[in-house]
Amino acid sequence: MFAIYKKELRSYFINPVGYVYVGVFLALAALLCCLSTLVAGTYDTTAYFLYMMIALIILIPILTMRLFAEERKLRTEQLLLTAPVTLTGMVLGKFFAALTLYASTLLLSCLNFIPLYVIADAERGSQEYVVKHIGPVTSELIGCLIATLLIGAAFIAIGTFISALTENQLAAAIITIAVIGTMVGIGFLTSFINVVWIRTALSWISVYSRFGNFQNGLFDFAAILYYVSLAFVFLFLTIRVYEKRRWG
């Protein structure tokens, strides 16, 4: 598994995909952070994380579209299937390579919050009496970052599964965008549905509805379990696809 992990992680920077992803991610994160906090004149970062979750609909498929689709297109899939590694190790190696790049870029984007703390310190120093909290809420930031990391992991697992179904990278990206967009969009539709049981069912499967607890400063263990389970299910399905392909 580790050999596939290293090969896959290195391949992101052999071709432009990795550089494009990192550049677009960091530029978009900086722009969204600026617009949702500095320009808006607030320390509240909930809007920023909401916009970033929506941005993942486009960013994650850039990472996952080539994971298995490229192997099939280049006819190197059989080398993977006959390599001295389990199918689970093969799938997890590719998954963790994409997750490593995503997590590293997400952590690097945290530099965007430094100006908020600098401005907050300057504002506190200019006031003789502080009557309210000034600056971003650190615990809320950490909670939202953990949730964003887990949501990204679930989305990467979905993209990995879809990439295993086709040899066309563009098709894999478009289908992944559609699936992830639907999962995120469901959360926004619930407010327009008056039927209680339908709204409850949609909220239960919605990625956004569970993310809302972290935006409110609540560390939701049920939501964490949901995101981890979602990633597990799609990785399991990917393994099953290759089990069928190996013995089919």
The whole-number pLDDT of residue 126 equals 63
Please, what is the Cα angle at 157 between 152 and 160, to 5 degrees? 120
The whole-number pLDDT of residue 132 equals 58
The residue type of 212 is G
The residue type of 176 is T
Two tokens at 94?
A: 């590719």
Predicted structure pTM score = 0.92
The whole-number pLDDT of residue 216 equals 73
The whole-number pLDDT of residue 243 equals 86
Write the pLDDT tens digit of every residue in 115-171.
888 887 777 666 554 555 666 778 888 888 999 999 999 999 999 999 999 888 999
The whole-number pLDDT of residue 180 equals 93
Inter-residue contact 141 to 120 (CB < 8 Å): no
Instruction: Evaluate the CA torsion angle 233, 67, 181, 59 in order and state its sign.
Output: positive
* Sites in the chain below the pLDDT cut of 70: 124-135, 191, 248
- Count of domains in the chain? 1
The whole-number pLDDT of residue 134 equals 67
The whole-number pLDDT of residue 40 equals 82
- Domain span at 21: 2-247
Please tell me the distance from the alpha carbon of residue 156 to that of residue 106, in angstroms, as a whole number: 14
